[in-house]
Structure 1
Amino acid sequence: MKLLVVGAGLFGATVARERALKGDAVDVIEKRDHVAGNIYTENVEGIQVHRYGAHIFHTSNQAIWDYVNQFADFNRYTNEVIANYKGQIYNLPFNMNTFNKMWGVITPAEAQKKIAEQRAILADKKPENLEEQAISLVGTDIYKKLIKDYTAKQWGRDPKNLPAFIIRRLPVRYTYDNNYFNDAYQGIPKAGYTHIVERMLDQPNINVQLGTDFFANKETYLDNYDKVIFTGMIDQFFDYQLGTLEYRSLRFETEILNVNNFQGNAVVNYTDADTPFTRIIEHKHFVFGKGNDRKTVITREYPMAWSRGDEPYYPVNNSENNQLFTKYRSLAKEKAPQVAFGGRLGLYRYYNMDQVIAAALQFLNGGFFGDTSK
């Protein structure tokens, strides 16, 4: 089979590799000048820098953990996020360290009582938006200091106007445990994420073309391949004919500093409204401070409204957008049966990295390629 994969991110690389191993001739085209999509890492001053924001691989799926470990050695990094609210430091996710700093409570019972008192403002009402969902989980004090303004910056709208499900799985622990994730497996690839994707694509029957825009020759590509895997925006593929899906974009401001240690942690969230960025990443702490001992690299992350031509980073999965996406899925089945859509943008879902791989592997076992994929 002659296969075209549009996008050299994690979904596209997984599909390309597995189909190449089955004997398909696979061309991968990527509009950027590098592979690995948004998980791209590069060496800057001896430090692996996450160019498009922090990425920590975590999963409870042992099959996915085993799969990705084919391509990389992982360190034992544990994601312990710090929140900075006007110079006050709190631990994330919300746990007994957070509650102690916020209220001076020591025992889980004291913390639960405090949250219950503040939750009473809802009067047993079922949460209908993000603000109400957050208060039901952690009370009003934590919501106002650590969630409200941070969320407004991230999504560009008042939390009252965001759906409750966005924060429904917010980790809340009544233990002194700062590990952000509950997953069994967690770490950072020692050689960076780019190395993973490069190894995935290192097959004799995979041809990678960088700096190549699918839309510059869309019809030619569609005519010349048996199957196409498209990992870009599904609405753009159809020239936005049903309407434009909503995305959020990001701007990254990276600095090289002549100090060994800038903030003492890989991720510090800034949760107040006056700070324009949401977080600062200090990349060397993903590998326990290793690298250049005279310099460090930091990145400030600024959420931005998205418009056509901007880089989309994550979808806005409210009911209106999800309904529009469903219409695009129906259009795809009718007008482009030889094209499969995948990844965050193609499937219009906020995926973690393990979920991207799992979705790609599940797709490969479906009927799109016929019986040869099983």
Structure 2
Amino acid sequence: MADKKSRRAVVIGGSLGGLFTAASLRAIGWTVDVYERSVSELDSRGGGLVVQPDLLEAFRFAGIAHAPQLGVPSRDRQYLDASGKVLFRQRMPQAQTAWSVLYNTLKAGLPDGIVRAGVALSDFVQDGDGVEAILSNGERVRADLLIAADGPHSTTRSLLLPDDFPDYAGYVAWRGLLPETAVDGAAAARLVDAFTFQSGAAHQLLTYLIPGEDGSTRPGERRWNWVWYRPLAAGAPLDAALTDRYGVRRTLSVPPGALSDESRARLRADAGEQLAPALAALVHATDAPFLQIIQDYRAPKLVFDRAVLLGDAAFVARPHTGAGAAKAAANAVALAQRLRDPDGSIDEALAQWEAVEWHNGMRLYEFGINLGAQIMGDLSLHTAR
């Protein structure tokens, strides 16, 4: 049995959820090892996101310093019609950041060697006192706790719940990132200082400014982030969109630079026909748009003895909630708060954590589905090309 004064956790997944978990548990004195199956540094696949209070609280709890201005502030929220006319504008201050800014800040705040890249979970075994992780490099690591923070298609969850998979929601997010200076002055003037939307029949585009690739929030050095939700029928249409320029059929997303020429050309043509001029200009100026499918998933429970599902491994909430990263951060901090007594029962702490966090996850999951229904309407009435 592990010494109660030096408890250890193995975290599977080195994205935001895994790093928030590692930072939070280290803050209460745990030893933590993070294993990430990707060999290289993770990229900014998530693009932009809203700076939620739970993100800031997670940095504070873990004692990780961050830039005074973590994101780009926006003053208003506005809605445009297809002609570019402002239908509605309201003062609603908030800030938007980039996935890469959060990731790089977390990595910089953790000691070297915490994250082991290129190592996947192969299996694990449990007994009454802990868990042993069996890794793809042949290592077997004994710990008090195994935490699955390995995303919507979690390897860990597949071992616990082999028949559970996320469900496709019937639509996708076409996305893009581009330099602030890549659009003309008229388009920029229409969009700057605002979180901008255009909604239509079964589609919605939103856009806002985020920090530049180097994290800069100075005007002229930032980036535009845009997301366009559009229906795409399962089967041949979805398969065609997910088949990249090299003929490889992707599962969940097509990364920047890998869209087929046909998909990219159709996206630009549709933008010119359906979007406000300033928004169409963003799509046309994006060199490497990318694609992500929208999915739903809810785990029946979060705690399986000493194995725990956290973040997107537990609940896949639709991105309309703006809370994916914040959900993982809140899960991690709440877990650490329950486990902070070095002499307390781990099993009791996990039961208390699950009782609250499962219901929090369900609320966000259901909220995302309701928002999706409001935005997309009855998808059976729309046929995507």
TM-score (structure 2 length as normaliser) = 0.51
* Map of 1:13 onto structure 2: 19
Q: 1:224 aligned to 2:126?
A: no
| Pick aligned residue for 1:278 from 192, 205, 208 | 205
Counterpart residue identity of residue 7, structure 1: G
Residue aligning to 1:263: 188
Matches within 5 A, 1:245-264: 245-247=166-168, 250-255=173-178, 258-259=182-183, 261=185, 262-264=187-189
Residues of 2 paired with 1:62 and 1:299: CA distance?
Answer: 23
| Number of the residue aligned with 2:281 | none
Alignment of 1:158-197 (within 5 A): 177-179=90-92, 186=95, 188=97, 192-197=101-106
Seen in structure 2, the aligned counterparts of structure 1 residues 70 and 61 have a Cα distance that, compared at 3 Å, is closer
Greater strand fraction, Structure 1 or Structure 2: 2
Please report how far the alpha carbon of residue 263 of structure 1 lies from its aligned counterpart in structure 2 after TM superposition: 3.1
| 1:4 equivalent in alignment to 2:10 | yes
Looking at structure 2, the residues matched to 260 and 28 of structure 1 have their Cα atoms a distance apart, in angstroms, of 44
CA contact (8 A) 1:247 1:315 kept: yes
CA RMSD of aligned residues (A): 4.4
Q: Is the contact made by 1:7 and 1:31 (CA closer than 8 Å) also made in structure 2?
A: no
Identity over aligned residues, as a percent?
Answer: 8
1:34 corresponds to: 41
Distance 1:87 1:33, change over 3 A: farther
Instruction: Provide the C-alpha distance between the structure 2 equivalents of 1:8 and 1:225, rounded to a whole number of angstroms.
Output: 19
Q: Does the aligned pair in 2 maintain the 1:314–1:344 contact within 8 Å? A: no
C-alpha separation in 2, matches of 1:69 and 1:197:
10
- 1:81 lines up with 2:77 in the alignment: yes
Q: Quote the Cα distance in structure 1 between the aligned partners of 2:341 and 2:252.
A: 33
Q: Does 1:52 align with 2:46?
A: yes
Which residue in 2 is equivalent to 1:110?
none
Are the equivalent residues in 2 in contact too, given 1:228–1:338 (CA < 8 A)? yes
Seen in structure 2, the aligned counterparts of structure 1 residues 24 and 284 have a Cα distance that, compared at 3 Å, is closer
Query: SS of the counterpart of 1:3?
Result: strand
Measured after TM superposition, the shift of residue 363 of structure 1 is 1.0
Q: Which runs of 5+ in 2 are unaligned?
A: 1-6, 125-133, 239-249, 254-291, 350-385
Superposed CA deviations along residues 160-201 of structure 1, whole A, max 9, x for unmatched, are xxxxxxxxxxxxxxxxx42166xxxx5648x9323322123x
In 1, the alpha carbon distance for the partners of 2:16 and 2:147 equals: 12
Counterpart Cα distance in 2 of 1:3 and 1:60: 22
Q: Deviations over 1:322-356 (max 9, x none)?
A: 5xx32xx27x62xxx23111113324446354443
Aligned to 1:209: 116
1:280, distance to aligned residue in structure 2 (A): 4.0
Residue 199 of structure 2 contacts residue 205 of structure 2 at CA under 8 Å; is this kept in 1? yes
TM-score of the two chains, using structure 1 as the length reference: 0.52
* CA distance 1:187–1:268, change in 2 (3 Å): closer
Consecutive unaligned residues of structure 1, counting only runs of 5 or more, are: 42-50, 92-96, 99-176
Query: How far off is 1:290 after superposition?
Result: 3.5
Distance 1:52 1:63, change over 3 A: closer
- Is the contact made by 1:17 and 1:203 (CA closer than 8 Å) also made in structure 2? no
Structure 1 equivalent of residue 220 of structure 2: 290
Q: For 1:113-192, list aligned pairs within 5 A.
A: 177-179=90-92, 186=95, 188=97, 192=101
Structure 1 Cα separation of the partners of residues 225 and 336 of structure 2: 38
Say if 1:13 and 1:197, in contact at 8 Å, map to a contact too. Answer: yes
CA 10–27 in structure 1, closer or farther in 2 if over 3 Å, else same: closer
Contact residue 235 and residue 244 of structure 1 kept, 8 A = no
User: Residue 300 and residue 354 in structure 1: after superposition, are their counterparts in 2 closer, same or farther (change >3 A)?
Assistant: closer
* Whole-Å separation in 1 of the counterparts to 2:309 and 2:62: 22
Q: Against the structure 1 CA distance between its residues 89 and 283, is the aligned structure 2 distance closer, same or farther, given a 3 Å change threshold?
A: farther
1:187 and 1:254 map into 2 onto residues whose CA distance is 13
The match for 1:341 among 304, 309, 324 is 309
Classify 1:347/1:210 alpha carbon distance in 2 versus 1 (closer, same or farther; 3 Å). same
Secondary structure, in 3 states, of the residue corresponding to 2:34?
Answer: strand
| Structure 1 match to 2:359 | none
Aligned 8 A contact 2:175 2:228 in 1: yes
Q: Measure how far apart 1:235 and its partner are.
A: 6.9
